[in-house]
Structure 1
Amino acid sequence: MTDRYAAQDLTTTAKALFEKAGAAAPVAQAMADILVEADLLGYGTHGLQFVPAYLAALEGGKTTTSGEPEIIIDNGAALVLDGKGLPGQWVMVRALDLAIARAKDTPMVGVAIRNSANISCLATYARRAALKGYFAIVAASAPTTKAVAPFGGASPVIGTNPFAVGMPGRDYPILIDTSAAAVTNRAIERAQRLGEKLPFPALVGADGKVSDDPAVLKTDPPGAIRPAGGDEAGHKGFALGLLVEALTSGLAGLGRSSDKPPAGNAVYLQLIDPRGFAGTDAFTQETGVLASLCRAATPCDPANPVRVPGDRAAAAFATQSAQGVALHPEIMDRMRPLLEKYGIPVPAPVA
């Protein structure tokens, strides 16, 4: 049976780890908050699974441990930030604060970010904005990463290029968190560690043959992740991947064209305030009715009624906030030696 842990215990533990590795207290707090929030929402590959990698980056001096992202271009409602190599959770929390402050004067604010460390779960930021009444768009690329083949290709060129959307709703946000790739890097990494195959042929070998075996990414030359959509509709995933690259690296002005692009993420964050258009009530009326119509659709399988993006996350958040966070078994196994190294107690599962 999967162990459950109190969310506050996990947050306290993760924050202590990041501080021991050198992160300033507010930076460590943002990192811990966002990672645990991801697990609360059910994004189990983009929460505390990141702890070993983030800790290694802090210990190795690859991540800046304190400071603030810097505004390098300011056009009021359009800004470019330099993340200064800071942890992505801290950069995004500060960028979101800045965008919300600017949105008091204008109904649309866009923030492009360069040189941020990995930002983990995009849905956490979109959800936070939506809960404050904003229609939010978050996109991220990794300019140094070549993982996904263009449609029709067999060699890696772009990243998985995730994006998230948070829409204010009647009871909770409609929350989209997906990527332009057939599978995430984190899911592949977990399959590799556990010696498993992927659940479907999400990869393509250098020979052009599709595969479910992560080993095809380690050949010479390497294979690649396929765009979302596969053989029939991969052109759509590829198109979305290009859109994310343009929103992030393009608008931030630093990406694959650079001789030495910074590691980590380039990000785009946009807030749209419905009050500046037809109004919040009109917006939530439309999103609410649309969601209800979708849920009322005749299901292919009566045992599995139609869900709207955000339904599962809202249910997971409510359940796990009350009953404890159900972590994948490997997560605490990977955290335990790190906690022992720094003399931090291993959190006890809830009864």
Structure 2
Amino acid sequence: MITPENLRELAGRALTAHGMSEEDAARVADVLVLADLFGIRTHGVARIPQYLDRAGLGGVDVAAKVVVDQVAPALAKVDGANGIGPLVGSHALDAALAGARTTGLGAAFVRGSNHFGPVMPYLFRAAEQGFAAIIASNATTTIAPWGGREARLGNNPLGIGVPAPGGDPVLLDIAMSVAARAKIRAAATAGQSIPDTWATDRDGRPTTDPAAALGGFLQPLGGHKGYGLSVMVDLFAGVLSGAGYLTRISSWSEDPERPQDLGHVFILVDAAKLLPAATLAERMADFAGILHSTPAADPAQPVRLPGEFELRRYHDGLRDGVTVDDGVLARLSDLAGAIR
């Protein structure tokens, strides 16, 4: 266990030791430590060594200066300048917040970015300030178009958040595949089969063999509906932003020395301009109560709201500390002690 404050400090030192300014490092650390607090450890501070490895190959610019172009009172274009993704995402969130504060509705479209961590930290920071949000990103291709047998789409994350004054917000953070590739790898290691809804083989046929699945493609959630949703995320986050899209995005794993040119989109609504805080709090509590009171099919698994499990981890982490793998902490310490 490590306190969130100490983890932010360690993450920040690892980044500044390799060329980031203290202000930029603090932005990145905030996003990634929130991910760890939520229990999304695959997208938390464990990503810092990967980000810096790519920077060492020239694939990411740790000294990038993110440029925000306010093209209308509520609309911004953000050029990430090939910076570390959470830095770019943090600036984009600020740009969308500024527009929403001014007009009630703000949006930022981002190009020239990289992997920006999970969506949930951005949703949470927006909700803390009273803003509902829709946030999405495109990603490296891992999903075949519905009916196809070549990967042309990313497992594009999409998040939606709604604030609840005086309480926890409702936060949904999903990607477009039925199951993560990590689950398929785990099944292969354990010698177990997988459901045939998780992935296809290289010829596009559903498979229960995890080895064949790893050589094939992830299946989109909801079949053709998930495919369509992934397409629309890429149109907003990639095409409209001016970023890369579909196969125009560079692969992090195959070409780590090349900029990815990922795109993101942030759309925020000032909830206070729709409802007084007390009214929204009452309505959100009633909404949650209706769902929580649903009789559970399994009494040991009561009905939860989206994000409730992660927010419980967040509160536990603030009180008890964050669980981070010892190897990750050791690697961050090594990076923090390095001299660029």
| In structure 2, C-alpha distance between the alignment counterparts of 1:244 and 1:166, rounded to whole Å | 16
Letter of the 1:39 counterpart: D
Q: Paired residue for 2:148, among 129, 153, 158?
A: 153
Residues 1:27 and 2:24 aligned together: yes
Number of corresponding residues: 328
Secondary structure in 2 matching 1:325: coil
Secondary structure in 1 matching 2:48: helix
Shift in Å, 1:297: 0.5
Quick one: structure 1 residues 319 and 207, their matched pair in 2 at CA, closer, same or farther if it must change by over 3 Å?
A: same
- The aligned runs of 1:272-351 (5 Å cut-off) are 272-327=269-324, 331-334=325-328, 336-337=330-331, 339-340=333-334, 343=337
Secondary structure in 2 matching 1:326: coil
Bigger shift: residues 282-291 or 80-89: 282-291
| CA RMSD, 1 decimal | 2.7
Shift in Å, 1:138: 0.7
What residue in structure 1 maps to residue 67 of structure 2?
70
Shift in Å, 1:314: 1.7
Residues 1:249 and 2:238 aligned together: yes
Letter of the 2:57 counterpart: G
- The aligned runs of 1:147-186 (5 Å cut-off) are 147-170=142-165, 171-184=167-180
Secondary structure in 2 matching 1:299: coil
Quick one: structure 1 residues 300 and 7, their matched pair in 2 at CA, closer, same or farther if it must change by over 3 Å?
A: same
Letter of the 1:228 counterpart: L
Quick one: structure 1 residues 259 and 53, their matched pair in 2 at CA, closer, same or farther if it must change by over 3 Å?
A: closer
Quick one: structure 1 residues 314 and 19, their matched pair in 2 at CA, closer, same or farther if it must change by over 3 Å?
A: same
What residue in structure 2 maps to residue 238 of structure 1?
227
Quick one: structure 1 residues 122 and 264, their matched pair in 2 at CA, closer, same or farther if it must change by over 3 Å?
A: farther
Provide runs of 4+ in structure 1 moved above 6 Å: 192-199, 257-261
TM-score, structure 1 length as denominator?
A: 0.84
What residue in structure 2 maps to residue 349 of structure 1?
none
Q: Paired residue for 1:114, among 111, 114, 130?
A: 111
Contact 2:68 2:76 in 1 (8 A): yes
Quick one: structure 1 residues 50 and 217, their matched pair in 2 at CA, closer, same or farther if it must change by over 3 Å?
A: farther
| In structure 1, C-alpha distance between the alignment counterparts of 2:278 and 2:266, rounded to whole Å | 23
What residue in structure 2 maps to residue 347 of structure 1?
none
| In structure 2, C-alpha distance between the alignment counterparts of 1:340 and 1:179, rounded to whole Å | 32
What residue in structure 1 maps to residue 35 of structure 2?
38
Shift in Å, 1:184: 3.6
Percentage identity across aligned positions? Answer: 28
Contact 1:191 1:198 in 2 (8 A): no
Quick one: structure 1 residues 196 and 125, their matched pair in 2 at CA, closer, same or farther if it must change by over 3 Å?
A: farther
Quick one: structure 1 residues 342 and 268, their matched pair in 2 at CA, closer, same or farther if it must change by over 3 Å?
A: closer
| In structure 1, C-alpha distance between the alignment counterparts of 2:224 and 2:134, rounded to whole Å | 22
Secondary structure in 2 matching 1:166: strand
Quick one: structure 1 residues 247 and 288, their matched pair in 2 at CA, closer, same or farther if it must change by over 3 Å?
A: farther
**Structure 1 unpaired stretches of 5+:** 345-351
What residue in structure 2 maps to residue 348 of structure 1?
none
Quick one: structure 1 residues 203 and 189, their matched pair in 2 at CA, closer, same or farther if it must change by over 3 Å?
A: closer
Secondary structure in 2 matching 1:36: helix
| In structure 2, C-alpha distance between the alignment counterparts of 1:257 and 1:207, rounded to whole Å | 20
Shift in Å, 1:277: 2.8
| In structure 2, C-alpha distance between the alignment counterparts of 1:325 and 1:312, rounded to whole Å | 15
Shift in Å, 1:337: 4.5
Contact 2:4 2:318 in 1 (8 A): yes
Letter of the 1:324 counterpart: G
Q: Give CA deviations for 1:12-61 in whole Å, capped at 9, x if unaligned.
A: 22211112222222222222221111010121221123122112022223
Secondary structure in 1 matching 2:86: helix
Contact 2:36 2:43 in 1 (8 A): yes
Secondary structure in 2 matching 1:210: coil
